[in-house]
Amino acid sequence: MHIGMFMEFGFRESGLDGEAFREGLELVDAAEAWGLDSAWLSEFHFSPQRSVLSSPIVTASAMAARTKRMRIGMAVYVLPLTNPLRVAEEAATLDHICQGRLDFGIGRSGFRRAYNSYNIDYDESQERFDEALAVLREAWKGKPFSYDGKFYKVTEAQVVPQPICPRSSTTTSEHPRRVRCQATLAPMTPPPITTIRVSQGSSTVIRLSLYG
Task: Supply the pLDDT for residue 165.
Answer: 65
- Mean pLDDT (whole number) for 38-65: 96
Question: CA 83 to CA 68: how far, in whole Å?
Answer: 30
- For 20-29, 69-78, 87-96, 161-170, which range has the lowest pLDDT when averaged over its residues? 161-170
Q: Model confidence at 27, in pLDDT bands (50, 70, 90)?
A: very high
**Greater pLDDT, 115 or 202:** 115
Residue whose C-alpha is closest to residue 72's, from 164, 165, 4: 4
Residues 6+ apart with CB under 8 A from 122: 112, 115, 116
Query: In 3D, which of 138, 44, 132 has the Cα closest to residue 82?
Result: 132
Query: Within 10 Å of residue 163's Cβ, how many Cβ atoms?
Result: 28
- Of 28-32, 117-121, 165-169, the range with the lowest mean pLDDT is 165-169
Quote the pLDDT of residue 191: 32
Give the bridge partners for 157, in sequence order.
145
CATH 3.90.1170.50, applies to 4-211? no
Mean pLDDT over residues 63-79, rounded? 96
Q: 30: Cβ–Cβ under 8 A, 6 or more apart, which residues?
A: none
Cα(74)–Cα(199) distance, integer angstroms: 20
Least confident of 158-162, 163-167, 187-191: 187-191
Structural domain boundaries of the chain?
A: 4-211
Q: CB–CB of 102/154 below 8 Å? A: no
171-210 pLDDT, tens digit per residue, is: 555 543 332 223 333 322 333 333 333 333 333 333 333 3
Long-range residue pairs from 183-192, CB within 8 A, at least 24 positions apart, any chain: 183/137, 184/141, 185/137, 185/140, 185/141, 185/210, 186/140, 186/141, 186/142, 186/162, 187/141, 187/142, 187/143, 188/212, 192/165, 192/166
Q: What is the pLDDT of residues 124-152, one digit of tens each?
A: 999 999 999 999 999 999 999 999 999 99
pTM across the whole model = 0.78
Residue 171: what pLDDT? 54
Q: C-alpha distances in angstroms, 130 versus 7, 177, 184?
A: 26, 11, 16
Angle between helix 84-97 and 56-66 (nearest 10): 10
